Amino acid sequence: MRRVYLDHSATTPLDPEVLEAMLPWLREHFGNASSLHAWGRRARVAVEEAREEFAALIGAHPSEIVFTSGGTEANNAILKSCCQESGLTDTVVYSAVEHHAVIHPAEALARQGVRTAVLPVDSWGRVDPESVRPWNRPRTLISVMHANNETGVIEPIRAIRDAAPDALLHTDAVQSFGKIPFNVGQLGVDFATFSAHKIHGPKGIGAMYIRRGIDFKAHQHGGAQERNRRAGTEPVALIVGFQVAARRAVEQLEQRARHMERLTRLLRQLLRERIPGVLFNTPEEGALPNILNITFADAHKLDGDALILGMDLYGVGVSNGSACSAGTMQPSHVLLALGRTPAQARAAIRFSLSKDTTEEDIRYAVEALERVLMPMRD
């Protein structure tokens, strides 16, 4: 049976070049980057070179980059440290369509007395920059993702910064980095979050950008690593893997984006032609090149999990919302925020493509969907 993986927003396969770059740091170069001897110094050089290169890729200074275990840790650290350890803010404002890695720490902070507010979104899931104006105060952290992991919609980060120049601004760029240009200066953010496994890098490594001048204190304690901003022995092999994956993603950004955009357009066209009652949760303009999220007019007759499992029987991997909340049986909070009914949110399918997806993959996936839907609609 043909196997077609279209769940790259959940995670991506590791690029062979990334694995090759990592191997020496798992085998012979095993030193601890904090050790003073030759083994340690070699590891330190690798970590600092990765930091320099990643910083350059996003227009930052190396001292502004802190490696973390991924996007979830970075989001937690930024929100919690701002409100607690660093004492920078007393209010967190976030959009209704944020990833749970922002929403849940914000809710945890609210339980501890931090003031929180949720920014509404329009029917494509976009924040109106005007809605952040009332939150333009220095002790407020505004957290709005650069692009949404379920629908791919791109948020107006620059306009949000312009509407709230005095607030601290964080953006979760886990899905956007490597898919669309990302530059901290152009966006005007104070904090940003990244993850390697969405760009053909290894799982368990990511980074946070913390603008210079911000007195950021660690949320996790127990070591002076990362200039006292994140305790824990640096995972050198993962950091090198992240560096190479990020380099390749940025170097090949235009060509990858063109390829994925063409196939996403083809997917949209085939779905329109072949699947009656298809509704698009992803706009044609202003979304990432690799995500297309759909639902169905007759969603109340369909079972979302059965759709995903039905596609799986044909060898097609897709998801029905954020991978991190799959299995909880909750309708996606993102699709509800767009105004979809709970049934439409439950029946949604997210196709997420990669640089390696082919036209045949797309044609096969649409054919599989047609076959899966047919008996359900009879």
Ligand X SMILES: Cc1ncc(COP(=O)(O)O)c(C=O)c1O
State the residues that interact with ligand X by CB under 6 A.
Answer: 70-72, 99, 101, 145, 149, 172, 174-175, 195, 206, 323-324
| CB-based contact 330:348 (threshold 8 Å) | no
Alpha-carbon distance 44 to 26, whole Å?
14
266 by Cβ neighbours in 10 Å (0-12 / 13-18 / 19+) ranks as middle
The two tokens of residue 193 are 């979050």
Q: Which is nearer to ligand X, 238 or 362 (CB)?
A: 238
Check 324, 326, 336, 376 and give the catalytic one: 324
Q: Which is nearer to ligand X, 19 or 324 (CB)?
A: 324
Q: Which is nearer to ligand X, 315 or 317 (CB)?
A: 317
Query: Residue 330 phi/psi, 5° resolution?
Result: -85, 135
Q: To which residue do tokens 């940003």 refer?
A: 192
Q: Which is nearer to ligand X, 7 or 190 (CB)?
A: 7
- Which neighbouring-strand residues pair with 295? 279
Alpha-carbon distance 292 to 81, whole Å?
34
Alpha-carbon distance 254 to 5, whole Å?
22
5: amino acid identity, one letter: Y
DSSP 176-188: TBTTB---HHHHT
Q: Which is nearer to ligand X, 46 or 78 (CB)?
A: 78
324: annotated active-site residue: yes
**Nearest CA among 175, 176, 151, 156 for reference residue 284:** 151
Question: Closest approach of Cβ 349 to ligand X, in Å?
Answer: 17
Just list the catalytic residues: 324
